[in-house]
Protein backbone atom coordinates (compact mmCIF):
# COMPACT_ATOMS: atom_id res chain seq x y z
CA UNK A 1 0.00 0.00 0.00
CA UNK A 2 1.28 3.43 -0.94
CA UNK A 3 2.50 5.63 1.92
CA UNK A 4 0.62 8.74 0.93
CA UNK A 5 2.43 11.14 3.18
CA UNK A 6 5.78 10.08 1.75
CA UNK A 7 4.40 10.10 -1.79
CA UNK A 8 3.06 13.63 -1.46
CA UNK A 9 6.31 14.80 0.15
CA UNK A 10 8.25 13.23 -2.75
CA UNK A 11 6.01 15.00 -5.26
CA UNK A 12 6.47 18.36 -3.52
CA UNK A 13 10.23 17.82 -3.25
CA UNK A 14 10.41 17.02 -6.96
CA UNK A 15 8.32 19.99 -8.05
CA UNK A 16 10.24 22.31 -5.71
CA UNK A 17 13.03 22.04 -8.28
CA UNK A 18 10.81 23.73 -10.85
CA UNK A 19 10.20 27.23 -9.56
CA UNK A 20 6.92 26.76 -7.67
CA UNK A 21 6.95 30.57 -7.36
CA UNK A 22 5.86 30.80 -11.00
CA UNK A 23 2.10 30.70 -11.41
CA UNK A 24 2.36 28.22 -14.30
CA UNK A 25 4.07 25.68 -12.06
CA UNK A 26 1.94 26.51 -9.01
CA UNK A 27 -1.24 25.83 -11.04
CA UNK A 28 0.04 22.43 -12.15
CA UNK A 29 0.92 21.47 -8.59
CA UNK A 30 -2.53 22.50 -7.34
CA UNK A 31 -4.23 20.79 -10.31
CA UNK A 32 -2.31 17.58 -9.61
CA UNK A 33 -3.27 17.50 -5.94
CA UNK A 34 -6.94 18.12 -6.77
CA UNK A 35 -6.92 15.45 -9.47
CA UNK A 36 -5.37 12.98 -7.02
CA UNK A 37 -8.24 13.73 -4.63
CA UNK A 38 -10.76 13.27 -7.43
CA UNK A 39 -9.17 9.93 -8.37
CA UNK A 40 -9.51 8.62 -4.85
CA UNK A 41 -13.10 9.74 -4.60
CA UNK A 42 -14.08 8.27 -7.97
CA UNK A 43 -12.33 4.98 -7.16
CA UNK A 44 -14.13 4.76 -3.82
CA UNK A 45 -17.37 5.61 -5.62
CA UNK A 46 -16.95 2.61 -7.91
CA UNK A 47 -16.70 0.35 -4.86
CA UNK A 48 -12.92 -0.16 -4.92
CA UNK A 49 -11.30 -0.87 -1.55
CA UNK A 50 -9.02 1.47 0.38
CA UNK A 51 -5.81 0.08 -1.18
CA UNK A 52 -7.08 0.46 -4.73
CA UNK A 53 -8.41 3.95 -3.98
CA UNK A 54 -4.97 4.82 -2.59
CA UNK A 55 -3.40 3.54 -5.78
CA UNK A 56 -5.82 5.68 -7.80
CA UNK A 57 -4.77 8.68 -5.69
CA UNK A 58 -1.10 7.87 -6.44
CA UNK A 59 -1.91 7.68 -10.16
CA UNK A 60 -3.43 11.15 -9.90
CA UNK A 61 -0.26 12.39 -8.20
CA UNK A 62 1.90 11.05 -11.05
CA UNK A 63 -0.31 11.73 -14.06
CA UNK A 64 1.04 15.19 -15.01
CA UNK A 65 4.60 14.74 -13.77
CA UNK A 66 5.84 15.37 -17.32
CA UNK A 67 4.47 18.93 -17.16
CA UNK A 68 7.30 20.21 -14.99
CA UNK A 69 10.16 19.09 -17.20
CA UNK A 70 8.12 20.12 -20.24
CA UNK A 71 7.85 23.65 -18.83
CA UNK A 72 11.55 23.77 -18.03
CA UNK A 73 12.75 22.48 -21.38
CA UNK A 74 10.20 24.04 -23.72
CA UNK A 75 8.69 26.91 -21.70
CA UNK A 76 5.20 25.86 -22.76
CA UNK A 77 2.39 23.47 -21.84
CA UNK A 78 1.29 23.20 -25.45
CA UNK A 79 2.01 19.61 -26.43
CA UNK A 80 1.73 20.22 -30.17
CA UNK A 81 4.75 22.54 -30.15
CA UNK A 82 6.80 20.56 -27.58
CA UNK A 83 6.19 16.99 -26.40
CA UNK A 84 3.18 14.85 -25.56
CA UNK A 85 3.35 15.53 -21.82
CA UNK A 86 1.73 12.18 -20.96
CA UNK A 87 4.22 10.07 -22.93
CA UNK A 88 7.01 12.29 -21.68
CA UNK A 89 5.95 11.84 -18.06
CA UNK A 90 5.61 8.06 -18.43
CA UNK A 91 9.10 7.91 -19.99
CA UNK A 92 10.64 10.01 -17.21
CA UNK A 93 9.04 7.85 -14.54
CA UNK A 94 9.41 4.38 -15.94
CA UNK A 95 12.24 4.54 -18.47
CA UNK A 96 14.49 7.08 -16.82
CA UNK A 97 13.77 5.92 -13.30
CA UNK A 98 12.06 8.96 -11.78
CA UNK A 99 9.60 6.57 -10.11
CA UNK A 100 12.47 5.65 -7.73
CA UNK A 101 12.03 9.04 -6.08
CA UNK A 102 8.55 7.92 -5.02
CA UNK A 103 7.77 5.28 -2.40
CA UNK A 104 6.49 2.90 -5.08
CA UNK A 105 8.81 0.01 -4.25
CA UNK A 106 6.00 -1.58 -2.25
CA UNK A 107 3.90 -1.99 -5.38
CA UNK A 108 3.77 -5.24 -7.35
CA UNK A 109 5.00 -5.18 -10.96
CA UNK A 110 1.45 -5.29 -12.33
CA UNK A 111 0.58 -2.06 -10.49
CA UNK A 112 3.68 -0.34 -11.82
CA UNK A 113 2.82 -1.45 -15.33
CA UNK A 114 -0.76 -0.21 -14.87
CA UNK A 115 0.56 3.16 -13.63
CA UNK A 116 2.82 3.52 -16.65
CA UNK A 117 0.00 2.75 -19.07
CA UNK A 118 -2.48 5.04 -17.32
CA UNK A 119 -0.05 7.98 -17.15
CA UNK A 120 0.83 7.45 -20.81
CA UNK A 121 -2.81 7.34 -21.95
CA UNK A 122 -4.38 9.94 -19.68
CA UNK A 123 -4.59 12.60 -22.39
CA UNK A 124 -5.41 10.48 -25.45
CA UNK A 125 -8.61 11.15 -27.37
CA UNK A 126 -9.73 7.54 -27.01
CA UNK A 127 -8.30 4.58 -25.16
CA UNK A 128 -6.90 1.76 -27.29
CA UNK A 129 -8.62 -1.62 -27.47
CA UNK A 130 -7.12 -4.55 -25.66
CA UNK A 131 -6.36 -3.04 -22.24
CA UNK A 132 -6.97 -5.47 -19.41
CA UNK A 133 -10.04 -4.65 -17.37
CA UNK A 134 -8.23 -3.33 -14.31
CA UNK A 135 -5.89 -1.09 -16.29
CA UNK A 136 -8.82 0.23 -18.27
CA UNK A 137 -10.67 1.08 -15.07
CA UNK A 138 -7.71 3.06 -13.70
CA UNK A 139 -7.35 4.80 -17.08
CA UNK A 140 -11.01 5.78 -16.95
CA UNK A 141 -10.59 7.02 -13.38
CA UNK A 142 -7.63 9.31 -14.09
CA UNK A 143 -9.25 10.63 -17.27
CA UNK A 144 -12.50 11.40 -15.42
CA UNK A 145 -10.63 12.97 -12.49
CA UNK A 146 -8.60 15.16 -14.84
CA UNK A 147 -11.63 16.28 -16.85
CA UNK A 148 -13.61 17.05 -13.72
CA UNK A 149 -10.87 19.53 -12.82
CA UNK A 150 -10.65 21.04 -16.30
CA UNK A 151 -13.94 22.88 -15.77
CA UNK A 152 -12.37 24.64 -12.81
CA UNK A 153 -9.22 25.47 -14.74
CA UNK A 154 -11.19 26.88 -17.69
CA UNK A 155 -13.72 28.73 -15.52
CA UNK A 156 -10.94 30.43 -13.59
CA UNK A 157 -9.44 31.98 -16.73
CA UNK A 158 -11.01 35.42 -17.19
CA UNK A 159 -13.72 35.35 -19.85
CA UNK A 160 -11.98 37.67 -22.32
CA UNK A 161 -8.72 35.81 -22.06
CA UNK A 162 -10.43 32.47 -22.52
CA UNK A 163 -12.43 33.65 -25.50
CA UNK A 164 -9.52 35.60 -26.92
CA UNK A 165 -11.57 38.69 -27.73
CA UNK A 166 -13.58 41.49 -26.24
CA UNK A 167 -17.17 40.80 -25.32
CA UNK A 168 -18.45 43.14 -27.98
CA UNK A 169 -16.60 41.22 -30.64
CA UNK A 170 -17.91 37.93 -29.36
CA UNK A 171 -21.51 39.01 -29.52
CA UNK A 172 -21.18 39.64 -33.25
CA UNK A 173 -20.39 36.03 -33.95
CA UNK A 174 -22.74 33.71 -35.74
CA UNK A 175 -23.16 31.11 -33.03
CA UNK A 176 -21.95 27.53 -32.88
CA UNK A 177 -21.45 25.50 -36.06
CA UNK A 178 -24.02 22.86 -36.88
CA UNK A 179 -21.51 20.05 -36.39
CA UNK A 180 -20.76 21.34 -32.89
CA UNK A 181 -24.44 21.54 -31.93
CA UNK A 182 -24.89 17.98 -33.27
CA UNK A 183 -22.24 16.87 -30.77
CA UNK A 184 -24.19 18.59 -28.01
CA UNK A 185 -27.42 16.81 -28.97
CA UNK A 186 -25.68 13.46 -29.30
CA UNK A 187 -23.78 13.92 -26.01
CA UNK A 188 -20.43 13.61 -27.71
CA UNK A 189 -17.15 15.44 -27.35
CA UNK A 190 -16.37 17.99 -30.07
CA UNK A 191 -13.49 16.95 -32.36
CA UNK A 192 -10.79 19.60 -32.52
CA UNK A 193 -11.19 20.25 -36.26
CA UNK A 194 -14.94 20.83 -35.92
CA UNK A 195 -14.30 24.00 -33.92
CA UNK A 196 -14.58 26.98 -36.26
CA UNK A 197 -15.63 29.92 -34.09
CA UNK A 198 -14.75 31.13 -30.61
CA UNK A 199 -18.18 30.10 -29.47
CA UNK A 200 -17.49 26.60 -30.85
CA UNK A 201 -14.44 26.43 -28.60
CA UNK A 202 -16.54 27.55 -25.65
CA UNK A 203 -19.20 24.91 -26.35
CA UNK A 204 -16.52 22.26 -26.88
CA UNK A 205 -15.21 22.91 -23.35
CA UNK A 206 -18.69 22.30 -21.97
CA UNK A 207 -19.02 19.10 -24.05
CA UNK A 208 -16.07 17.53 -22.22
CA UNK A 209 -18.65 16.57 -19.64
CA UNK A 210 -20.04 13.94 -22.02
CA UNK A 211 -16.84 11.93 -21.72
CA UNK A 212 -17.23 11.35 -18.00
CA UNK A 213 -17.58 7.64 -17.34
CA UNK A 214 -18.45 7.32 -13.65
CA UNK A 215 -21.47 8.64 -11.72
CA UNK A 216 -19.12 9.92 -9.00
CA UNK A 217 -17.33 12.12 -11.57
CA UNK A 218 -20.64 13.61 -12.65
CA UNK A 219 -21.40 14.26 -9.00
CA UNK A 220 -18.08 16.07 -8.55
CA UNK A 221 -18.83 18.31 -11.54
CA UNK A 222 -22.34 19.06 -10.27
CA UNK A 223 -21.09 19.88 -6.78
CA UNK A 224 -18.21 22.08 -7.86
CA UNK A 225 -20.39 24.22 -10.11
CA UNK A 226 -17.63 25.27 -12.52
CA UNK A 227 -19.56 24.01 -15.52
CA UNK A 228 -22.46 26.20 -14.36
CA UNK A 229 -20.07 29.12 -14.40
CA UNK A 230 -19.08 28.31 -17.99
CA UNK A 231 -22.73 28.25 -18.93
CA UNK A 232 -23.38 31.72 -17.51
CA UNK A 233 -25.29 33.99 -19.85
CA UNK A 234 -24.32 37.31 -18.31
CA UNK A 235 -21.32 38.87 -16.63
CA UNK A 236 -21.24 40.20 -13.07
CA UNK A 237 -23.03 43.39 -14.19
CA UNK A 238 -25.90 41.54 -15.84
CA UNK A 239 -24.54 42.26 -19.32
CA UNK A 240 -25.09 39.40 -21.80
CA UNK A 241 -21.83 37.64 -22.68
CA UNK A 242 -23.10 36.35 -26.00
CA UNK A 243 -25.38 37.28 -28.89
CA UNK A 244 -29.06 36.26 -28.88
CA UNK A 245 -28.42 33.31 -31.17
CA UNK A 246 -25.52 32.12 -29.03
CA UNK A 247 -27.55 32.47 -25.85
CA UNK A 248 -30.23 30.28 -27.34
CA UNK A 249 -27.65 27.65 -28.22
CA UNK A 250 -26.10 27.97 -24.78
CA UNK A 251 -29.49 27.08 -23.26
CA UNK A 252 -29.52 23.92 -25.37
CA UNK A 253 -26.02 23.10 -24.11
CA UNK A 254 -27.21 23.61 -20.54
CA UNK A 255 -30.27 21.41 -21.06
CA UNK A 256 -28.18 18.58 -22.53
CA UNK A 257 -25.32 18.76 -20.03
CA UNK A 258 -27.85 18.89 -17.17
CA UNK A 259 -29.61 15.81 -18.54
CA UNK A 260 -26.28 14.02 -18.82
CA UNK A 261 -25.10 14.96 -15.34
CA UNK A 262 -28.37 13.90 -13.75
CA UNK A 263 -28.10 10.32 -15.04
CA UNK A 264 -27.83 8.01 -12.11
CA UNK A 265 -26.47 4.80 -13.56
CA UNK A 266 -22.89 3.96 -14.46
CA UNK A 267 -22.95 3.64 -18.21
CA UNK A 268 -19.78 1.58 -18.26
CA UNK A 269 -21.36 -1.00 -16.06
FE1 LIG B 1 -2.25 15.89 -18.23
User: What is the distance in A from the centroid of ligand 1 to the CA of 30?
Assistant: 13
User: What is the distance in A from the centroid of ligand 1 to the CA of 119?
Assistant: 8
User: Residue 192's pLDDT is what?
Assistant: 84
User: What is the distance in A from the centroid of ligand 1 to the CA of 263?
Assistant: 27
Question: How many Å apart are CA 56 and CA 73, to the nearest integer?
Answer: 28
| Distance, CA of 95 to chain centre | 25
Q: Which residues have C-beta within 8 Å of that of residue 262, sequence separation ≥ 6?
A: none
User: What is the distance in A from the centroid of ligand 1 to the CA of 173?
Assistant: 31
pTM over 0.75: yes
User: What is the distance in A from the centroid of ligand 1 to the CA of 238?
Assistant: 35
User: Residue 171's pLDDT is what?
Assistant: 62
User: What is the distance in A from the centroid of ligand 1 to the CA of 86?
Assistant: 6
User: What is the distance in A from the centroid of ligand 1 to the CA of 257?
Assistant: 23
Check: CB of residue 136 under 8 Å from CB of residue 36.
Answer: no
Please give all residues whose CB falls under 5 A of ion ligand 1, grouped by chain where several chains appear.
64, 123
User: What parts of the chain have a pLDDT lower than 50?
Assistant: 268-269
Question: How many Å apart are CA 249 and CA 182, to the nearest integer?
Answer: 11
User: What is the distance in A from the centroid of ligand 1 to the CA of 91?
Assistant: 14
User: What is the distance in A from the centroid of ligand 1 to the CA of 206?
Assistant: 18
User: What is the distance in A from the centroid of ligand 1 to the CA of 63?
Assistant: 6
User: What is the distance in A from the centroid of ligand 1 to the CA of 117?
Assistant: 13
Neighbours of 73 (CB within 10 A): 11
User: Residue 113's pLDDT is what?
Assistant: 98
Neighbours of 142 (CB within 10 A): 28
User: Residue 269's pLDDT is what?
Assistant: 42
User: What is the distance in A from the centroid of ligand 1 to the CA of 25?
Assistant: 13
Amino acid sequence: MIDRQRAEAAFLAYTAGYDPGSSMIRHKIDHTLRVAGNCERIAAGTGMGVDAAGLAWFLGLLHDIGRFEQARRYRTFVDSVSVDHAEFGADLLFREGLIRQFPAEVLPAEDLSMLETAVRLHNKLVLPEGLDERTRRFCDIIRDADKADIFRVVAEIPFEERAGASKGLLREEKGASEAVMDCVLQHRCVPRDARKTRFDVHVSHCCLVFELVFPESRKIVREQGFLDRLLAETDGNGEPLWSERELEQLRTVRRETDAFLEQKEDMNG
